[in-house]
Structure 1
Amino acid sequence: MLSFVQNMGGGFLLIILLFSLAYFILWVYCLVDVIRSDFKDQNMKVIWIIVILFGQVIGPIVYLMLGKSTKASY
C-alpha cells in the first residue's frame, strides 16, 4: 500500500494527510476544552467557539496562546 502511494507521488500527499489529521485533532481538542471550561465572563465561551470555528487555521492556535488568561481560576 505504501509503495503504491509513493509511486503516485504520494509522499507529498502523505505529509498533507498527516498535517490535516494533526490539525483536526488540535481543532477538536480546543473546541472540547472551550466547551468544558469555565470563563471569567460567560460571553467569552461563545466568542472562543466562534473564533475556533471561523478562524480556520489560526483560531485554535490563538486560543491555545490567549485562552488560558480568559479562564476562571478557582
Structure 2
Amino acid sequence: MGIEVGFFGLLILIADIYAIVKTFESGASTGTKVIWILLILLLPVVGLILWFIFGPGRKR
C-alpha cells in the first residue's frame, strides 16, 4: 500500500512541477503567475486540476 501512495505522490509532484514551469513560461502578468504558483504549491491536487482547466495560456 505504501508504494502505491508514494507512486501517486510522485506523479502529483511531477505534474505540479510541470504546471509551475508552464506558468512561468506563460505570457500572463506577474501577479497572475504568482497566484497560480501559490495555488499549485498550497493545494497540489486541487490547484493542479484548476490549473489544467483555468490556468494561464488556456484557450477558451
Amino acid aligned to 1:19: F
Amino acid at match of 2:7: L
Per chain length, whose mean CA-contact separation is higher, i.e. which structure has more relative contact order (CA < 8 Å, sep 6+)? Answer: 2
Runs of 4+ in 1 over 3 A off after TM superposition: none
Percent of counterpart pairs with the same letter? 29
Match of 2:19 in 1: 30
Residues 1:59 and 2:59 are matched in the alignment: no
Q: CA RMSD in A?
A: 1.9
Q: Aligned residue for 2:57?
A: 71
Q: Structure 1 length normalisation: TM-score?
A: 0.67
Q: What is the alpha-carbon distance in structure 2 between the residues aligned to residue 72 and residue 27 of structure 1?
A: 16
User: TM-score, length-normalised on structure 2?
Assistant: 0.80
- What runs of 5+ residues in structure 1 fail to find an aligned partner? 1-11
Q: Which has the larger radius of gyration?
A: 1
Query: 2-side partners of 1:52 and 1:13: how far apart?
Result: 24
Structure 2: any 5+ residue segments left out of the alignment? none
